Amino acid sequence: MTQIADAVLDVLPISREKAQTAADLVQGLDRPALEWLAGFMAGAAARVRHGAPQAATPVAVAVGTAVQAQLTIVYGSQTGNARRVAEKLAGEARASGLPVRLVRADAYRTSDLKKEKFLYLVISTHSEGDAVEPPDDSRGFYEFLMGKRAPQLAELSYGVLALGDSSYVDFCGIGRRIDERLAELGAQRLLGRADADVDVDYVATPWSQEALEQAKKRLAPQQAPASVAPGAEVLTLHPAHAPWSRERPYLAEVLVNQRIVGSGSEKDVRHIELSLAGSGLHYQPGDALGVWPTQAPELVQRIVQTLALDGDTAVAHGGETLPLTEWLAHRRELTVLTRPFVAALAERGGHDALKALLQPAGNAELSKLLNSHQLIDLLRAWPATWDAAALVAALRPLAPRMYSIASSQAQVDEEVHLTVARVRFDKEGEARWGVGSRYLCDAEEGAQVPVFIEANERFRLPADGARDVIMVGPGTGVAPFRAFVQQRQAQGATGRNWLFFGNPHRHSDFLYQSEWLQAVKEGTLAHLDVAFSRDQADKVYVQQRLREHGREVWQWLQDGAHFYVCGDAERMAGDVQRALVEIAAEHGGKTPEDAAAWVQTLLLEGRYARDVY
């Protein structure tokens, strides 16, 4: 019988006996069996959520019975939102008795596509600079679907939920292309594509409800038999209390808020420690912490004054009534512009110049505007008359900010650590900032911050502790690798660890310097290579350090090492990937095309993982 450690049992929300029963139950089960069991549990949870009795209905599964038709849900997720929505839809479908299969895009066998009858896709658009890409877990699926090998799909009925960010010009571009491609291949839409902004649930919830109703019309619910065959064991489920989540964040106390750059640094980077004591929250290295920020009061007042509005005006929206200042402070984006708001402002103010930016020919200029302006800048530059209700309706709902976790619970227990760089700049002599970083960097010790855990299954240490890992994390991108090193040290992993770190100056910007040097001394870090870009006449970056050590990097990867990158998506991530391709070409003797294909294979295998933003 598989044993569960006492330390784990002590924090579980169920009894030791039931926890051990659950651990024994899953031993030896293959993926289909585990997926069925997960659906069974989700169904039980759904019944509890809707007020039904907690006892589970006995279910007997007839071995060898073929499912005539099923719903397949495929998701591609970069930050976890698409996964969350897909899992919720799958759980509700299973609770309704529908046969359903939930598959991450990189685990989906593309040969199955021509056999599918009912398919839903939930996929995000990942932006890297001005370009949009599929999520890392969806690249193989996307390339297959867009390529010549994709089959005709006249028997397929489908629906697409696209996730994106309207602060980028090509909003939901990947989902839109997949939707159009499936139609081009002859598939029939069960329902129209929906494009969800960062306030995902606003669009995802009604789309999922319609998707579920469409599935019910086409798939007969599987009825549980009235009795169970002799000798079969029936488990009575008592689902645990709902955990803290995005919708129900935990108020974590700030334990430490410490500046970790030198006095001469041009940056303000903080090491922040939050308490999770008593919350029952757990995370793994590679996961992110979601933080719900509050807008700065002075920014709220600037907007109210610019529009000559009364901040106390009660505004009813979405079934809720709040004063205007409350909407702006806690519920609306003020530091990130979106295309829909630009369109609303252009129409309300009759601004032809703004309308021109919304045309295809204006995409480049619109992108510059979205990246360089905040709401207050736009309201001042293009005046219009707004009432409080119209303003609230036009602005995008505030979204949580995600931060790579910089600690391992194996070492810090009921705490979570973050590495946060304050985003601040001046525009026309007035301060501008990023809402999340300002909120956290200004949080005093003892303050409470609403948080939740966002799992990142694609950014995990190898299960085999004997595997080597290469980590590339310039700036605050080093955060998850602090967690990786802590975890490997706590587990006694025998694989070697190699860290590439970069920042402007060694004397002021060497984040966690003492920890890394101690790790090298103890042997936890086999190699530490740094690139301080402005400590010499010629700028040096992490990708150059990779090339300098190209032969050894190549050998580590040939021997099975995992390669991780965290940080800036606009420039650094692409530069590192190009360096990796060059290393494969130079030291692996590959053509440029074969080297690029080899890097893509690493990505698809999960040995090359990226957490970029």
What are the pLDDT digits (tens) for 189-224?
999 999 999 888 889 999 999 999 999 998 876 544
In the predicted structure, residue 238 carries a pLDDT above the cut 80: no
What b/e readout covers 273-284, taking b as 16+ CB neighbours within 10 angstroms? bbbbeebebebb
- Of 32-41, 369-378, 471-480, 580-589, give the lowest mean pLDDT range: 32-41
R_g of the chain, CA atoms, integer Å: 26
- pLDDT for 190 equals 94
- pLDDT for 555 equals 98
- Of 161-175, 245-259, 367-381, 390-404, give the lowest mean pLDDT range: 161-175
Question: What would the mean pLDDT of 502-526 be, rounded to a whole number?
Answer: 97
Looking at residue 491, what DSSP letter applies? H
Among candidates 184, 170, 174, which has minimal Cα distance to 82?
Answer: 174
Q: By three-state DSSP, how is residue 71 classified?
A: strand
In the predicted structure, residue 146 carries a pLDDT above the cut 50: yes
With pLDDT > 70 as the criterion, what percentage of the chain qualifies? 84
- CATH superfamily placement of domain 299-394: NADPH-cytochrome p450 Reductase; Chain A, domain 3 (1.20.990.10)
What are the pLDDT digits (tens) for 68-106?
479 999 999 887 889 999 999 999 999 999 999 999 999
Q: In which residue are the tokens 């003020």 written?
A: 334
Which range of 155-169, 270-284, 353-367 scores highest in mean pLDDT? It is: 270-284
Question: What would the mean pLDDT of 7-17 be, rounded to a whole number?
Answer: 44
In the predicted structure, residue 42 carries a pLDDT above the cut 60: no
- pLDDT for 8 equals 38
- pLDDT for 45 equals 52
Residues 6+ apart with CB under 8 A from 192: 159
Residues 6+ apart with CB under 8 A from 309: 324, 386, 387, 388, 391
CA atoms of 556 and 565, how far apart (whole Å):
16
Q: 604 falls in which pLDDT band (50, 70, 90)?
A: confident
What are the pLDDT digits (tens) for 22-32?
654 544 444 44
Q: Do 495 and 463 contact (CB within 8 A), yes or no?
A: no
- pLDDT for 201 equals 87
Residue extents of the structural domains in the chain? 61-218, 250-293+400-454, 299-394, 469-612
Q: Do 42 and 91 contact (CB within 8 A), yes or no?
A: yes
In the predicted structure, residue 57 carries a pLDDT above the cut 70: no
**10 Å Cβ neighbour count for 3?**
9
**Mean pLDDT of the residues in the chain:** 87
CATH class of the domain whose range is 61-218: alpha beta
- pLDDT for 241 equals 43
Token pair listed for 370: 């979205």
CATH class of the domain whose range is 469-612: alpha beta
In the predicted structure, residue 514 carries a pLDDT above the cut 50: yes
Question: What would the mean pLDDT of 371-379 be, rounded to a whole number?
Answer: 95
- pLDDT for 478 equals 98
Question: What would the mean pLDDT of 20-44 be, rounded to a whole number?
Answer: 50
Report the CATH fold assignment for 250-293+400-454: Elongation Factor Tu (Ef-tu); domain 3 (2.40.30)
Q: Do domains 61-218 and 469-612 have the same CATH topology?
A: yes
Looking at residue 199, what DSSP letter applies? S
Token pair listed for 256: 């430490």
